[in-house]
């Protein structure tokens, strides 16, 4: 996957204030406020920053956490993970492999078949139906 590089100025011009705060500054949207939290539409969830396909709606489930949750990405090649010890918690951050956008976190409490819960900010996604 080809890496997409832009200056902070270019990202600020392309994204809304909320998208920039979450995707480029590793923020989090408030729970139960995101556009895709309760969305049941079929399609592919793409990175709001670069358009890379990240998650298939068929792999989405209701985790009750207030954020869209998926039990697997489209491919291990589309997302990257990294240890995140911020805020006094031990978590695993999920980013877009193509552009480095912060998407959310992955937890080991999801459903079968993977047992994973990719907890993703709606503002980091665009659903292509």
Active site residues: 119
3-state SS class at 129: coil
> How many Cβ atoms are within 10 Å of 12's Cβ, its own excluded?
14
Judge contact between 42 and 57, C-beta under 8 A. yes
Residues 6+ apart with CB under 8 A from 19: 48, 49, 123, 124
Residue 48 DSSP symbol: T
15 Cβ partners below 8 Å, 6+ apart?
23, 24, 48, 49
């Amino acid at each position: 996957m080809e890496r997409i590089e832009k200056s902070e100025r270019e990202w600020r011009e392309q994204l809304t204030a909320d998208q920039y705060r979450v995707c480029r500054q590793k923020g989090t949207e408030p729970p139960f406020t995101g556009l895709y939290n309760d969305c049941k539409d079929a399609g592919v969830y793409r990175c709001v920053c670069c358009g890379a396909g990240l998650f298939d709606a068929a792999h989405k489930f209701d985790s009750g956490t207030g954020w869209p949750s998926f039990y697997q990405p489209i491919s291990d090649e589309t997302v990257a993970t990294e240890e995140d010890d911020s805020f006094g918690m031990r978590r695993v951050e999920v980013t877009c492999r193509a552009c480095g956008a912060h998407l959310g976190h992955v937890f080991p409490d999801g459903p079968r078949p993977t047992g994973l819960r990719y907890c993703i900010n709606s503002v980091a996604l665009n659903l292509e139906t």
